[in-house]
């Protein structure tokens, strides 16, 4: 069985994560310079441009005024929204590699819901700066699963099949099949590809006890639990326990878990980014 270092040598020269996505994730501020850079980078992907133009001209956003280029799209939708959409659109292609529906349904769907729930939670807690970071970090937290799936797609689908038909958690099954789990693999791959430090730390939060996670990591972790409770990814035996732990550490007053989760699910379904993902 290969070691972590051997796996890294296998993926070093693979373009698993598109260079455009890496550069877009590294754009930090909503200023004139980054606005121009985002426009330039997005224009290099014709499929992405077509998707964003279609969305910007949809009844949900258009207000009757058609847009015809990326500068107008970014102006209409906003820098942060477009950057999140770029991340979603490009990670969609990563999760779809191999055309394994099981992988897409279990991992991609969960990642999208987790990222959007994390954004919603940040906005509710008035963490404006973290809200958009939460989406990209939530999406990229499952980078390790993308890598393991790329290394051996047949094996990873077998792992998912066992996970969905047993009470064994996914991390244990990954470790058994590959000798490493997706938390280790994701952190190492993110460092190899020089991803922003905030994404690396959010991946590393996955392996830490809840109380030792960063504040953003705790929000994303709680969002992941809500995602599972709303049917985005398999619920595990410890899901309810994790809900209570996160609720406590985040200082949230929740009288009725079912009502709380249902309310969040309704927000997800009307979210513009979630609707965008339904078009991918």
Q: Which residue has the tokens 């897409």?
A: 104
Count helices and strands in the chain by DSSP H and E runs: 18, 0
Q: Please give the average per-residue pLDDT across 187-212, as a whole number.
A: 92
The per-residue pLDDT for 94 is: 65
The per-residue pLDDT for 69 is: 84
All structural domains of the chain with their residue ranges = 4-14+98-277
How much of the chain exceeds pLDDT 90, in percent? Answer: 37
The per-residue pLDDT for 261 is: 95
List the structure tokens of 89: 């659109």
In a 3-state reduction of DSSP, which class is residue 182?
helix
d(CA 233, CA 105): 8
Choose among 143, 99, 147, 135: nearest CA to 274: 135
Q: Where are the alpha helices (DSSP H) in the chain?
A: 4-11, 19-25, 32-42, 46-56, 70-77, 79-95, 101-103, 109-124, 128-140, 143-151, 153-164, 170-178, 182-192, 197-205, 215-229, 239-249, 257-269, 272-277
Higher pLDDT, 251 or 17: 251
CATH-assigned architecture of domain 4-14+98-277: Orthogonal Bundle (1.10)
Higher pLDDT, 189 or 50: 189
- φ, ψ of residue 167 to 5 degrees: the values are -100, 10
pLDDT in tens, 16-74: 777 777 778 777 766 677 788 888 888 877 777 887 888 778 776 766 778 888 888 88
pLDDT in tens, 91-139: 766 666 554 677 777 788 898 899 999 999 998 887 777 777 888 888 8
d(CA 183, CA 203): 7
């Amino acid at each position: 069985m290969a070691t972590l270092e051997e796996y890294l040598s296998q993926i070093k020269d693979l373009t698993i994560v598109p260079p455009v996505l890496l550069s877009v994730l590294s754009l930090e501020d909503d200023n004139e310079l980054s606005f121009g850079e985002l426009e330039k980078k997005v224009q290099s992907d014709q499929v992405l441009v077509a998707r964003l133009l279609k969305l910007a001209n949809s009844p949900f956003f258009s207000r009757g005024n058609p847009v015809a280029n990326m500068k107008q799209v970014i102006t209409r939708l906003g820098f942060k929204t477009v950057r999140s959409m770029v991340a979603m659109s490009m990670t969609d292609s990563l999760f779809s590699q191999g055309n394994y529906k099981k992988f897409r349904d279990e991992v991609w769907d969960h990642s999208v819901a987790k990222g959007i729930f994390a954004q919603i939670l940040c906005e509710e807690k008035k963490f404006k700066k973290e809200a958009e970071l939460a989406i990209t970090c939530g999406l990229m937290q499952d980078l390790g699963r993308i890598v393991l799936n790329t290394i051996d797609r047949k094996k990873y689908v077998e792992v998912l099949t066992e996970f969905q038909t047993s009470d064994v958690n996914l991390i244990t099954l990954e470790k058994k099949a590959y000798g490493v789990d997706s938390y280790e693999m994701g952190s190492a791959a993110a460092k190899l590809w020089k991803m922003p430090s905030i994404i690396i730390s959010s991946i590393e939060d996955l392996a830490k006890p809840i109380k030792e996670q960063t504040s953003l990591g705790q929000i994303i972790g709680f969002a992941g639990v809500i995602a599972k409770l709303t049917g985005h990814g398999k619920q595990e035996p410890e899901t309810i326990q994790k809900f209570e732990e996160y609720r406590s550490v985040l200082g949230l007053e929740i009288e009725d878990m079912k009502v709380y989760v249902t309310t969040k699910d309704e927000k997800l379904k009307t979210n513009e980014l979630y609707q965008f993902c339904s078009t991918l």
